[in-house]
Structure 1
Amino acid sequence: MATASSSKPPTWITAWFLITIPVIFWDAGFCFSRPRSFEGGDLHWIWKGYELYQNIDLVYGVEAYEKGEGFTNAQALMNLIENFLNIAYLYLAHIEESPIAPLVGYVSVHLTVGKTLLYWAQEYFCGFCAIGHNKLSNILFFWVLPNGLWIVVPSLIGYTLGKQLVQQLYVAHEVSKKSKKK
């Protein structure tokens, strides 16, 4: 039988969301503020680190922006949707202690994984058009490793929350069976 404490999120899941929520807002801010967020722009000081990244991953760069490529802002919009779901999950899990919190978190992390896999697939199918100019060490350190975290950790969260959801479904099923017998 599930108890109230079994629906409490593990600390590592809460930590992931608390750490990534501001990172996601920061990243989306860079994307939606272009060209002002680029080097030389009046808002560049907020996103100083992107001076390197926009040259590693050209999807974030000046040329893609000037060509009107929409993928960067499309993924930033998806990031915001995921982020609001992440915030909703934390609220539902910690403030409301709602049984739907695991479902919201589960949906959110699977959006994250799906979007990140799409990002990788887009790069593969365009012949590494945005990162292929880099040395392998730069690709691994600045692109694969950080982007890989957005696949691995949300997948682990999805697995953990999925187990919670399955447990809740079994409990609900058992309660339903008992009430039908009465």
Structure 2
Amino acid sequence: MVSTRNHPSTFPPPEASPTKSPRKSRTSTPVPTASASSPSRASPSVVVGSVRERVVDTAQGALGNVQNGYTAISGDGGRGSGGWSHTASNVTLAWIAVSIPLVIWDSLYILLRPHTMAGGFLQWPLWKPYEIYAAIDYVYGQPGWDLKDGFGGGQGAVNVIEVILYGLYIMIVYNHGVKAAGGSGVQIGSGVKGWASGGVRVKGSKGNTALIIGFTASVMTLSKTVLYYLVEYYAGFKNTAHNDWFTLFLFYGVMNGLWVIFPAYMTITFGSDILAGLDAAVHEEKKQN
């Protein structure tokens, strides 16, 4: 018998074929799970609600600005960029500066009669010039005082209210205003340095307040002065008929007429500013709707 041959070591394992890859084990693909840190997708109803709230807030804010008088208005006359504003022209400010001391002088003469009249202890020297006008207009003279003509005293009391209103207007304009190249109303010259051109601009609620005060005061002055003429006319010129035509025209017509011309100018100017602000508010509200 032939005996088997013993090998010193075991045979090496067979090598894998180069054309065949080792078989991979089949494993199930893991399903991704939502983690707490991953962003969640908002539902359509939440998105629509958020957008709706933003639109409503924006519309309400714009409407509130219109109601507060901050609507932007293009153009000159105190309505520049950055919001609504009131601009007092230099013509208006100059007239108020001149008229306030004169009206105070006139009011005190009327309200302190008879002490400010001829022979009164207060006449000299402040009211001595009133002797001239008291001889022209008997409302200011001795005949009016003796007859207890109440219209003179009444218009003197109204003068006090007007002075207070004009004083408030000037305080607001100069405390809260800034120089402007153009103002509402008449402009003579060009630029801030031009004669009677330019003005002082007041923005926001302070400008609104100044405008209403100025408009109220100018309407009071205009109405009172026109009424003064009408009362004399319908009374048959009983207080002025003794004058010659030149004296009547110069001292009664022209001098008193200044308190018709300038208050009428301010009434028109202030009224135009008020209408411009209201028109802008209506226009902005239509845009929002």
Q: Same fold (TM over 0.5)?
A: yes
**1:156 equivalent among 260, 265, 269:** 265
Unaligned runs of 5+ in 2: 1-72, 74-78, 177-201
**1:50 equivalent among 120, 126, 130:** 130
Higher strand proportion = 2
Q: Deviations over 1:82-126 (max 9, x none)?
A: 111111222233324312312221121111111111100110011
In the other structure, the counterpart of 1:24 is 103
Unaligned runs of 5+ in 1: none
Matches within 5 A, 1:11-160: 11-45=90-124, 46-96=126-176, 97=202, 98=206, 99-160=208-269
Which aligned runs of 4 or more in structure 1 are off by greater than 6 angstroms?
Answer: none
Q: SS where residue 88 of structure 2 aligns?
A: coil
Q: 1:176 to 1:27 in 2, by over 3 A?
A: same
Residue 39 of structure 1 deviates from its aligned partner by 1.5
Q: More displaced, 161-170 or 117-126?
A: 161-170
Q: SS where residue 59 of structure 1 aligns?
A: coil
Q: Which amino acid aligns with 1:66?
A: D
Residue 5 of structure 1 deviates from its aligned partner by 8.2
Percentage of matched positions with identical amino acids: 31
Higher helix proportion = 1
Q: SS where residue 9 of structure 1 aligns?
A: strand
Q: CA RMSD in A?
A: 1.6
Q: 1:169 to 1:93 in 2, by over 3 A?
A: farther
Q: Which amino acid aligns with 2:131?
A: E
Q: SS where residue 128 of structure 1 aligns?
A: coil
Question: What is the TM-score with the length of structure 1 in the denominator?
Answer: 0.92
- The number of equivalent residue pairs is 180
Give the Cα separation in 2 of the matches to 1:49 and 1:5.
46
